[in-house]
Amino acid sequence: MLATYFLVNFCLLLLQAADNFTQADVDAGRLVYRLQLALMMPIRDDFEFQLFTPDARSDVALFEFRYEPPTGDTIFINNGLYDVLEGNHKLIGLENIYVESDSGSDYQYNVVGKPMHGELRIIDPGSGDVLLYNATTFSNDDIRLQRVYYVHDDSETDYDSFRFVVAVVSPPSDDDGIGWFVSQFDISIVLRNDNAPRRVADSALDVVENRGRVLTTEDLLYDDPDVNFDSERLVYTCRHILNGDIVATSDRTTVVHRFTQKNVTSGELYFRHRGAEHALSEFTVNDGLFQVTVV
């Protein structure tokens, strides 16, 4: 939003990182700091620099700026959007984003940084038809008429945002940049349990006949793709084991019929072989909502 420039022959040259200027440039008024856009909110900015002489250099120092916008009659609302259910959509209304002024000007919102995990849509509130997918611009009228929606892409993400520039559209502004400003609209996503447990380790359990060994995650490992779910809490329930038992590692007389992924990860379970050399086992894995059967 902000930048430092050199004024050379009345032309502005943007300074980049690692560029140099001298004390003589400062004394001669050749160093200019200007806004790229006229902003309506106070902001801070800074840049780091070092002083060099032929024989030495200083520590890195910080030069700070504070911008205070001119006082005026403009009201800017940018409260973000909260509690969007994962994979769903939600209206962006007057309480979320809006600009108005006593001058009677109307405003347009131009998206300069799209959402990463969803999209904006303009929707007809009467029919529900989508008028515009991946909208990159919307107006105060769109907001007032409840036509602007954010649609989440159903990914396992709990946050999204988009950056936008607001411009005066009526009456037109004759001042270059005046009445324009840039901001970010934050979006909070409520994740839900919409994924069943999935198998990660898929190998046969090899043991010495009539003996056994500790179960590990190389033998039995499931996870849950829902990012807000701890896969260690997955619950296994044994239904049929035809050639042995699962027992506690610390007390091999205690048969365990129900256990968690954490019990496996911690090495608390032991498979004790008895009977046939080869057999299938059957159990279920449950995350509290979804249950899968494993053979």
Q: Rounded CA gap, 34 and 55, in Å? A: 33
Q: What is the pLDDT of residue 8?
A: 43
Roughly how many angstroms between the first and final C-alpha of the chain, as a whole number? 59
**CA distance to 234, 251, 255, per residue, from 245 (Å):** 20, 13, 7
Give residue 40's pLDDT. 57
Average pLDDT (89-110) is 88
Residue 3: its pLDDT value, please?
Answer: 54
Position 178 scores a pLDDT of 42
Q: Which amino acid is at 224?
A: D
3-state class (DSSP) for residue 87: coil
What's this model's pTM, rounded to 2 decimal places? 0.56
Q: Are 87 and 189 in contact (CB under 8 A)?
A: no
Q: Highest mean pLDDT: which of 27-36, 93-102, 150-159? A: 150-159
* pLDDT value at 204 more than 60: yes
Whether the pLDDT of residue 171 is over 80: the answer is: no
pLDDT at 100: 84
What number is the average pLDDT over the span 75-90? 90
**CA 16/CA 3 separation, integer angstroms:** 9
Identify the top-confidence range among 3-17, 145-159, 193-207: 145-159
| CATH topology for the 74-190 domain | Immunoglobulin-like (2.60.40)
Evaluate if residue 109 carries a pLDDT over 70.
yes
Choose between 151 and 278: higher pLDDT: 151
Q: What are phi and psi of 17, to 5 degrees?
A: -55, 140
- 10 Å CB burial of residue 10 (0-12, 13-18, 19+) is exposed
Rounded Cα–Cα distance for residues 181 and 113 (Å): 14
Where residue 71 falls among pLDDT bands split at 50, 70, 90? low
Distance of alpha carbon 183 from its chain centroid, rounded?
17
**pLDDT higher than threshold 80 for residue 12:** no
Query: At 191, is the pLDDT very low, low, confident or very high (cuts 50, 70, 90)?
Result: confident
Q: Is the pLDDT of residue 2 over 70?
A: no
Distance of alpha carbon 87 from alpha carbon 193, whole angstroms: 11
In angstroms, what CA-CA distances link 23 with 20, 53, 62, 63, 212? 10, 12, 16, 15, 79
pLDDT of 6 strictly over 50: no
Burial of 161 (0-12, 13-18, 19+ CB in 10 A): middle
> Measured in whole angstroms, how far is the alpha carbon of residue 118 from the centre of its chain?
11
Query: Of 264, 275, 218, nearest to 238 (Cα)?
Result: 264
Contact 123, 175 (CB under 8 A): no
Q: Indicate whether 282 pLDDT > 90.
A: no
Choose between 39 and 183: higher pLDDT. Answer: 183
